[in-house]
Chain A
Amino acid sequence: MKTTPDNSGDVRLSGISKTYGSFTAVHPLDLTVPEGSFFALLGASGCGKTTTLRMIAGLEEPTTGTVRLGDQDVTHLPPYKRPVNTVFQSYALFPHLDIFENVAFGLRRRGIKSVKKQVEEMLELVQLGEQARKKPHQLSGGQQQRVAVARALINHPKVLLLDEPLGALDLKLRRQMQLELKRIQTEVGITFVHVTHDQEEAMTMADTVAVMNGGRVEQLGSPADLYENPQSTFVANFLGTSNLIEAEVDTKNGDDLVLKAGGGKLVLPEARCSAPTTAGGKVLVGIRPEKISLTHADDAGEIPAGRNRLTGKIADASFIGVSTQYVIDSPVCDELAVYVQNVERDGRLVPGADVVLHWNPAHTFGLDAAQDIDAGTEEEVAA
């Protein structure tokens, strides 16, 4: 079932934008999704990710720009003439047709007469062979979801679009379907473009993730790259948790920047800083909570040299099994988050204890201090 790599499954968006009256849902954006990849558009609701997807499907006409599939310009083709299929949010299964006819719908509309074998094979792929003659409302949420995937995939589209396909499922089923979808994608080798607001889902499934915010792509890259190397406060906060500390560039030392934060110094590799690095310039120093080690203040002498250090006092500690999550108030920054694996627990690390936070400078990243430091945090997104 694998398609030959003739690039006909590439999706190329150039200068594509969408405005409704005076509201701009999507600012002009360029995006290339390589054939056969699993691509995720990630962002909070209203960030323009679904509109972008609908423009690829042909359900919205872009205000400017072009949509190309491989070498074919499909910008002005109606959806029923595009070799693209969609798995809709809440599935949109036809309630008046049984499962077999739902899956056969696309084949029949293209005038294919003998659909039985293909439909049965497809229902086997999604493990629903027994349910062929049932109506959609007789199936569970997870089963309906699989019918929606089968109904789209049976047409061998160049690109499969998934609009929050797992949003209506409970957590456990969602995990299961994530693996299932990933398996199907690997098996059929079709380009998947997946829209989601769930950062974990995007990171688990996609090869490449585009983080969208306010109608723009904030950053694009592999999940690991986005996580380790965020280029904006939005990405740093939206994907996982980040500690962001205000600092000032002091000197350069080879490939590293030396920064002043409060009374202390922090080291940041220049290559990992997306802000201007002139001396005296302000930057936000970022570090992920699990990269930080905690040492009780009494043992501060044992910390190896060459690590970034901050002092602080434990404000709160919550034990969650595999790790303990600490909240630490430091003179340079309130409420620093630190996750420590529960390997060898130090009984002295309780609320009120004085501690030293330290980490390998290579894990530090630098962001432009002109941005909103809270962009992309849960409170900010919910507001």
Chain B
Amino acid sequence: MPFVNWLKRRLVVIAGLLTLAYLLLPNVVVTVFSFNKPKGRFNYEWQRFSTDAWKDPCGVADMCGSLSLSLQIALWATVGATVLGTMISFALVRYRFRARGAVNSLIFLPMAMPEVVMAASLLTLFLNMGAQLGFWTILIAHIMFCLSFVVTAVKARVMSMDPRLEEAARDLYAGPVQTFLRVTLPIAAPGIAAGALLSFALSFDDFIITNFNAGSTVTFPMFVWGSAQRGTPVQINVIGTAMFLVAVLLVLSSMVITHRRNKQKA
């Protein structure tokens, strides 16, 4: 029975580790295959270790161009959606205006509607307006669907904020601008940051809406999709691994900073 007892005591840890493995396995595969040297054009079977792809990440025609385009779109979509979404959240929480209830529910429609339907209708709209498909139509579409996520994240935060905090700031000699910068913004910041991160991630890997509205422009997800038909270059795995590492590094450094700050105070 000692084994059963041992298992009983560690059941939670084992379940946790298994879940973590389940989550991380795809990333491990991506990373491992970024060091592969495939025989044909498809990187689906392990052949032998090589760092060729890491030495020449932009070696595949058009890939780094599409990556830079995706990063730019994601950045601007994040900025646009975060600014607009934050303002909408404040308006919805702080002011009582006509059709406030309607706006409140309409803002969540993009989240609820099937993406492919939205993509097709957006294309119809752009074509009828005679818009030139490309960077701008993609950006407009991305800001639109990121907005609902930002509003959800920021609204929760603003709703839990005590309006007396701003009154206290005004009472303590802070004018409207100072009150916003010193009290309102810092308190809403975690919500805004969450909305921004979500926007960046959603915009960067969006495929369906982008594919419908891109015209001849090719973003990174579209490039990956396109090349998967003809063969997958190892460099795709290199980019994937790099992005994963950047994310992990960001999380780790923020943890270290918070830890140090708390230590200083104690």
Contacts and interface: CB of A to CB of B under 8 A. Distances in A.
Contact of A79 (B171, B178, B265): B171
Contacts of B164: 88-90, 92
B175 interface: yes
A109 B178 contact: yes
B168 A88 contact: yes
A110 B168 CA distance: 15
A105 B182 CA distance: 9
B18 to A, nearest CB: 36
B167 A80 contact: no
A94 B265 contact: no
Interface in B141-182: 162, 164-165, 167-175, 178, 182
B187 A95 contact: yes
Which of B164, B172, B173, B186 has the most C-beta atoms of chain A within 10 angstroms of its own C-beta?
B172
B171 A57 contact: yes
A94 B170 contact: no
A123 B175 CA distance: 25
A95 B169 CA distance: 12
B183 interface: yes
Which of A84, A94, A110, A155 has the most C-beta atoms of chain B within 10 angstroms of its own C-beta?
A94
Interface size range on B against A: 10 to 19
B172 A151 contact: yes
Contacts of B178: 109
A59 B187 contact: no
A81 B98 CA distance: 33
A92 B162 contact: yes
A98 interface: yes
A113 interface: no
B16 to A, nearest CB: 29
Nearest to B161: A95
A383 B170 CA distance: 35
A131 to B, nearest CB: 11
A381 B236 CA distance: 73
Given A85-B172, A106-B172, A109-B173, A92 B265 contact: no
Nearest to B165: A92
A52 interface: no
Nearest to B174: A109
Interface in A93-112: 93-96, 98, 105-106, 109-110
Interface of B: 162, 164-165, 167-175, 178, 182-183, 186-187, 265
Given A79-B167, A109-B174, 18 more contacts: A58-B171, A59-B167, A80-B175, A85-B172, A86-B167, A88-B167, A90-B162, A90-B164, A92-B162, A92-B167, A94-B168, A96-B186, A96-B187, A98-B265, A105-B172, A106-B172, A109-B182, A110-B173
26 contacts: A57-B171, A58-B170, A59-B167, A78-B175, A79-B170, A79-B171, A80-B170, A80-B172, A80-B174, A84-B171, A88-B168, A89-B164, A92-B162, A92-B168, A94-B165, A94-B183, A95-B187, A96-B186, A105-B172, A106-B172, A106-B173, A109-B173, A109-B178, A133-B265, A151-B172, A152-B172
